[in-house]
Amino acid sequence: MEFKMKKIILGVLVLTATNAMALSNNVNLYGKVGVDVVSKFETISPSVHKFNAPSKNKVAPGVFLEATYSIVPEFEVGVGVGYIKRKSYNYSHLKSIESDSNSGVHYDIPLIEYSKVNRYSSIPVYLVGKFNLNLKPDLLVYLQGDFGYSFNKVKSTHRYVTYEDVAGNGMFGKSRDNIIHTDVTNGKYYGVGVGVEYKNIQLGISYHHSKARLQYHTRGLALTNDSYQNDALRLSLGYKF
């Protein structure tokens, strides 16, 4: 509910600011859709046995609204807000854990882990600086920089299940079934990109960084606070209203 309210409030703020500035011919309003074709997170270990989950690349869609003011035709400053949807995924892992017998002999027990690798969605709010280079009356190339703050959200719980083959006969029995409680912090958001603008259509490519920390705990797994930053390469298509 809190995350939804933030989206509504931020949207109202941007639209209000845009309407207030609309009396000026130097005001520009851009609507964009983007896809993070590369979206890489730092490695985390949601495992009791300290196994690092695989860092898969998952495509992440996003929508953005930006309002700028042209100080001169070549340079614009403004504000932007967006929403980036990043999808979590399930993982399983087969490994061996060391155990001791009553006689003091060390042996390995096959173990399978099932869990979820959490990805957070973000609402970035940022300042915009845009430099334009006109090639023709209806064609320009631009360089844009963004700097702001990202409000992040992750699913609050997921299951962590393990199965062990204690007898070593290929028969696995459930050894753990826990609920992991998860939270993520907000953090800095920045990016830089280039693009072309033909009449009212924009096509751009950019790099963006979101800063966050992931916190999780469950029975048998102490509370952790790991850096969980995201680096993304984004393709975007925009329209200048």
Rounded average pLDDT per 10-residue block, the chain, 241 residues: 55 54 76 95 68 73 96 95 91 65 59 80 97 94 98 85 74 76 92 96 97 80 77 97 91
Rg (CA), the chain: 24
CA–CA separation, 39 vs 119, rounded Å? 10
Structural domain boundaries in the chain? 2-88+118-160+177-240
Nearest to 99 by CA among 163, 166, 159: 166
Predicted TM-score (pTM) of this structure: 0.79
pLDDT of residue 20: 46
CA–CA separation, 120 vs 231, rounded Å? 13
**CA atoms within a 13 Å half-sphere pointing along the CA-CB vector of 93:** 20
pLDDT of residue 57: 75
pLDDT of residue 171: 74
When the candidates are 3.30.70.640, 2.60.120.20, 2.60.260.20, 2.40.160.20, the CATH number that belongs to 2-88+118-160+177-240 is: 2.40.160.20
- The gap from C-alpha 43 to its chain's centroid, in whole angstroms, comes to 14
| Residues 51 and 82: beta-carbon distance below 8 Å | no
pLDDT of residue 93: 67
